[in-house]
Amino acid sequence: MEDVIKSLGINGTLVAQIFHFIILLIFLRVVAFPPIVKVLEQRQTAIANNVAAAEEERKQAEALRQSYLADMQKAKEEAQAIIQQATKAGEAQAQQILEAARAEANRVKETALKEIEREKEKAVAELRDQVITLSVLVADKIIGKQITQDLQHGLVEEFIKEAGDLPC
Amino acid sequence: MKSIHEVEQTLNVWGFQPQITVPLLGEVQPKVIVMTWIVLILIALFTVAATRSMKVDRPGKLQLMVEEMFLFLRGLVYENMDYKKGAGLMCLIFTLFLFLLFCNLWGLVPTMMSPTASVNTTLGMALTVFFLVQVLGFRYKGIGFLKHFIQPSVFFLPIVIIEELSKPITLSLRLYGNIFAGEVLIAVLLGLFGLTADLLGGFVASVIWLAFSIFVGFVQAFIFTMLTIAYIGAATAQDH
């Protein structure tokens, strides 16, 4: 055993090396190790936070999108309703105007008819008067006898009445 | 062309004695000790510089380097044991990897030497790991940890003992062999070509070997750390 150890060159250096390694271990444990672990943990936390925040924002964006879509749908429906209402109102107004025009036309026509009737009656009455006067003159000439104006008028009127209601 | 002893004597510009005797420890190799001190100082400077002003949002280059190393090792640890046990071991694993990596690479600097090119260093690390495995096994399993020595039957006891003892030995000799061979080959390549040959491209082999040694340094540090994790994971696992 001694020979093996000697031929391999194993000596007190071995103990010194173990000692050196332990010193290095302690040094790294105290100086280098904590910041590495800390920074890695911080990075892990930061990434986890970022992922969570991104997820949260995605959810919010989705909710916002849904609300926008709903708003747009509502606005569309309202616009549709307004258009329908306006169309209905327009149609109603057109109808109203048409009726008013029709009524006005009827009224004008009626008035015109009445006017015509009145004018006709007036003309007939005038004609009658003239016929009477003319008849009286004619009778005056033909008969040649003096009768009073009133009597003659009464006579002629009677005659015309007898002649009937012949249309002129 | 020089012999390897001539090259080594030429490279020993610092005048280290091969062995001196100090009180308490007995015989030691002063070159290994001094190189270890330098490596310790380098690691201290590196880690302090990297962790001096750590930022969460905009990490610097050194900080990223340390963080990536740490995360890589933590991934290995968490693959082999549960989080609660793993978190407590992270500092040890991180220190082990950093120490071995710096030790392996330091020997590539001219006239310097890897502390891991001495079997003392590697065996020291392996024994530390070995005792750590036993201690953690007892800590997490109590006296039941001893049961794995006689499973599946009591006749396996010598085999299991040999297996357990072979772990630190292979661990240390693998690392020592790789790094020491790297250093020897560097010296051999330096002696093989003189200065005149270097002008004609004799340095190419040396440069290629140095580049490969960087790779070997990383791989060996990784293997040592990985096996440590695996041993601890096996010793502390609740069910075999």
The 10s digit of each residue's pLDDT in B218-237 is 999 999 999 999 999 888 88
Rounded Cα distance between B126 and B116, Å, is 11
Cβ neighbours of residue B71 closer than 8 Å, sequence gap 6 or more: A40
Q: Is B20 helix (H, G, I), strand (E, B) or coil?
A: strand
- Could B99 and A24 be called an inter-chain contact, meaning their C-beta atoms sit closer than 8 Å? yes
Structure tokens at B120: 């003392």
The closest CB to that of A40, out of B67, B95, B119, belongs to: B67
B202 vs B102: which has the higher pLDDT? B102
Backbone φ and ψ of B76, nearest 5° = -65, -45
Chain B closest-CA separation from residue A59 CA (Å)? 26
Q: Quick one: average pLDDT of A98-123?
A: 95
The closest CB to that of A13, out of B55, B63, B120, belongs to: B120
pLDDT band at B140 (very low <50, low <70, confident <90, very high): confident
| Amino acid A159: pLDDT | 76
Average pLDDT, chain B: 87
| Amino acid B112: pLDDT | 87
CB B86 within 8 A of CB A72: no
| Amino acid B186: pLDDT | 86
Asked if residue A145 has pLDDT above 90, the reply is no
Tell me which chain B residues have a C-beta less than 8 angstroms from the C-beta of A46: 56-57
Q: Is B114 helix (H, G, I), strand (E, B) or coil?
A: coil
- Could B91 and A29 be called an inter-chain contact, meaning their C-beta atoms sit closer than 8 Å? yes
B84 vs B211: which has the higher pLDDT? B211
- In DSSP terms, B28 is beta-bridged to B20
Chain A closest-CA separation from residue B116 CA (Å)? 10
Helical segments of chain B, H only: 4-11, 30-51, 61-80, 83-106, 119-141, 157-192, 195-197, 203-236
CB B121 within 8 A of CB A13: yes
| Amino acid B226: pLDDT | 94
Chain A closest-CA separation from residue B90 CA (Å)? 9
Asked if residue A166 has pLDDT above 70, the reply is no
- Could A24 and B50 be called an inter-chain contact, meaning their C-beta atoms sit closer than 8 Å? no
Chain A closest-CA separation from residue B1 CA (Å)? 28
Query: H or E element: which one contains B27?
Result: strand B26-28
Nearest CA in chain B to A39: B56
Q: How many contacts (CB atoms, under 8 Å) link A and B?
A: 114
| Amino acid A112: pLDDT | 95
Cβ neighbours of residue B109 closer than 8 Å, sequence gap 6 or more: none
B110 vs A81: which has the higher pLDDT? A81
Q: Quick one: average pLDDT of B115-131?
A: 91
In this structure, the number of other CB atoms found within 10 A of the CB of residue B167 comes to 17
Asked if residue A99 has pLDDT above 70, the reply is yes
DSSP A38-60: HHHHHHHHHHHHHHHHHHHHHHH
Structure tokens at B165: 């003892």
- Could A12 and B124 be called an inter-chain contact, meaning their C-beta atoms sit closer than 8 Å? no
pTM, two decimals, is: 0.73
Choose from A13, A23, A33, A50 for mutation: most chain B CBs within 10 A: A13
pLDDT band at B138 (very low <50, low <70, confident <90, very high): confident
Q: What angle do CA B176, B113, B217 make, to 5 degrees?
A: 50
Q: Quick one: average pLDDT of A107-136?
A: 92
Rounded Cα distance between A3 and A151, Å, is 192
Average pLDDT, chain A: 88
